[in-house]
Structure 1
Amino acid sequence: MILYVSDLAASIAFYRDVVGLPFKFEDAGYAEFATEGTRFALYERRRAAWLTGSEVAPGPAAEVVFVVDDVDAEARRLAAFGARILSGPADRPWGHRTLHVADPDGFVVEFAQRIPRRRPRKP
């Protein structure tokens, strides 16, 4: 996943220092984090037209989800960093306890802890 952001330095600081992702590198308006299983990166929105052929509208057009062991502990940790908490923590019927915060561009960042489902999945 690549998020197109307005202020690369602010977004790097948010995902590295507040969310806690391990930072990998930054180069020419692009920054990548050392995540497992998927690539998570940021790209300066002002450079997007060069890459995509057209302007990219600002967020929040995406939601980033991180699975954590203890969403309540994450809520306390994020609040201590001054993160803008949008909702939660709250138990969801699909088997997650969630917390939603906003990143510097207004993208929704969800932290989800697996809990027992309250409703079964339809076959």
Structure 2
Amino acid sequence: MGIGYVILYVGELEVSVGFYRDVVGLAYKFTDAGYAEFDAGGVRFGLYERRRAEWLTGEVVSPGAGGEVVVMVDDVDGCAARLRAAGVPVLSGPADRPWGHRTVHVADPDGFVVEFAQEIPRTRRRQ
């Protein structure tokens, strides 16, 4: 068993495609019938138009900021500078986290939190 896809239901597909392609830097693969997919290194990352999701779920899908997409990078500080230069509002960071990441957080066009994380030495042991 393994995770094959992570799909976010989004309000405006093309706006979100632009964000994940141009801001996050994921490799865009294709768009078809309200769905767009990116190469995320072994797991398929997709965006699906929220207005079309009702036929999948059987109910109206509400916009949600519940959840987080974590993108691993080599240089969080450089990433944060690139995000700011592109006019992307930074929610928090860069900051060192005790679990072994240096992070910066932004929000995508639908309010999902996107964390860019760089591995650093842990300062807190696992229990």
Q: Please indicate the TM-score interval, normalised by the length of the shorter structure.
A: over 0.9
| Cα RMSD after superposing both structures | 0.7
What is the Cα deviation at residue 103 of structure 1?
A: 0.4
Are residue 99 (structure 1) and residue 104 (structure 2) matched? yes
> Would you say how many aligned residue pairs link Structure 1 and Structure 2?
122
Letter paired with 1:39:
R
Distance between the aligned counterparts of 2:99 and 2:64, measured in 1? 26
Deviation string 1:59-112 (CA, Å, 9 cap, x unpaired) is 201100011111000001111111121000000011100000000011000000
Are residue 33 (structure 1) and residue 38 (structure 2) matched? yes
TM-score calculated relative to the size of structure 2 = 0.93
Report the 3-state secondary structure (helix = DSSP H, G, I; strand = E; otherwise coil) of the residue aligned with 1:78.
helix
Could you tell me which runs of 5 or more consecutive residues in structure 2 were left unpaired when the two chains were aligned.
1-5
Report 1:1-123 matches (<5 A).
Answer: 1-122=6-127
Identity of aligned residues (%): 70
Q: Structure 1: which 4+ aligned runs deviate by more than 4 Å?
A: none
What is the Cα deviation at residue 56 of structure 1?
A: 1.1
Report the 3-state secondary structure (helix = DSSP H, G, I; strand = E; otherwise coil) of the residue aligned with 1:57.
coil
Distance between the aligned counterparts of 1:99 and 1:15, measured in 2? 16
